[in-house]
Amino acid sequence: MTTDFADGRMRLTVLGGYLGSGKTTWLRHQLHVGSFGPVHVIVNEAAETGVDDVLLAAASGLTLLAGGCSCCTGRQDLIDALRRLCDQRSRLASNGQRLQRIVLETSGLADPGAIVAAVQGDPILVNHIVIEQTIVVVDALHGLAQLQTEPLGRRQIGAADLLILSKTDAVDPESLNLLRTTLRALCPSAPQSAAVLGAAQPLPNLATDAQAPTLPPLSDDDTRGAIFPTRLKIDDSIDWSAFALWLSALLHARGNDLVRVKGVLPTPAGRLLLQTVRKVVQSPEILPAQENQSEDGTIVFIGRGFRPDDLQKSLRRFAGRSETVK
């Protein structure tokens, strides 16, 4: 750990961005190359199953806040976790080596602005923590579509001090420019940078006269219903390849409503990490074995337009070994 900042307070970076925009991927790379130095990472997941904490093992300390988004239902958990960190740190001598930086990775459903307001409004935390910056990761592939339809996506952009465009290798320069002018219109103060799998990429200068496309007005009460997380337990009767068959069909038919799917699936090759964003499946990865594998086989679905029970029913009918579809 490095020595204290002059004011003796810790620096908090809030890392936000929509579901599947690439927050964890970016942070994982930053931890690997050490851009933050020694850092405590707090990961918040809206669903009750944590996946991201496995990927962020390079942090010097890690807190997982699962089962509630920290800008609304899980706000108190976040405040408590931060107070605990402050408490632990205050017990150490200020001339020693103690924790200087915290990175909070929000859930994809969180409004970073609300989190910043909650932390700054807390009478204890304000004496211990300075919010250094809010970094918002924007999916270059799906960002424009999200901004057109999701009020939350726009609020996230508005809260940013720095915008990082991810997956820029997957889009053509015209769509990238369109997205960038839109982002500039939504949040003119935030500089934009780009990263592919966390590694920084050069971005050409944006023409100053480029016109942003007009975004349709959105109201907060969405007629399509709220995006909610749900979990699906894959039991032993479902073979991994059958599950993949079902999921591939589901993504094809319902990809636009199924904003995010993630989880670890036990397979013959090992623990297969599955992550999707709308219809795009991220390149599969086999995770190393670890002590606590109790969450393996529990897949998190975040989306709208379906009933949680239907997923289980459909999977049974679609992919169960013994049953037949009439």
Partner 1 sequence: MCNACGNPAVLGHWTEAGAATPGDRLRARFHRAGLLDKVLRPYGLTAHDGGVVPGIQLSTLSGNQSILPDLSAVWAEAERLLGRPVDPLDPVFLNDD
Q: Indicate the residue among 210 and 253 with the shorter CB distance to partner 1.
A: 253
Residue 20 CB-half CA count within 13 A: 26
Alpha-carbon span 42 to 22, nearest angstrom: 16
Question: Segment near partner 1 (CB under 8 A), from 128-136, 186-194, 226-234, 315-323?
Answer: 315-323
Please identify which residue in 92, 207, 210, 286 interacts with partner 1, judged by CB under 8 A: 286
Residues within window 215-244 making contact with partner 1, judged by CB under 8 A: 239-242, 244
Q: Which stretch binds partner 1 (CB under 8 A): 65-73, 126-134, 135-143, 262-270?
A: 262-270
Environment class of 254 (CB within 10 Å of its CB; exposed 0-12, middle 13-18, buried 19+): middle
Q: Which long-range contacts (CB under 8 A, 24 or more apart) does 307-312 make?
A: 308/230, 311/230, 311/232, 312/232
The span of 94-102, 149-157, 228-236, 248-256 binding partner 1 (CB under 8 A) equals 248-256
Q: Which of 88, 249, 290, 308 binds partner 1 (CB under 8 A)?
A: 249
Rg of the chain taking only CA atoms, in angstroms: 21
Q: Is 306 in the site for partner 1 (CB under 8 A)?
A: yes
Residue 89, both tokens: 């740190």
Task: List, in order, residues 6 or more apart from 231 with CB less than 8 Å away.
Answer: 47, 48, 49, 298, 299, 300, 301
Q: Cα separation of 80 and 258, whole Å?
A: 32
Q: State the binding string over 10-49 for partner 1 (x if CB under 8 A, else -).
A: ---------------x--xx--x-----------------
Question: What residues line the site for partner 1 (CB under 8 A)?
Answer: 25, 28-29, 32, 55, 58, 197-198, 239-242, 244-250, 252-254, 265, 267-270, 272, 274, 281, 283-286, 306, 310-311, 313-315, 317-319, 324-326
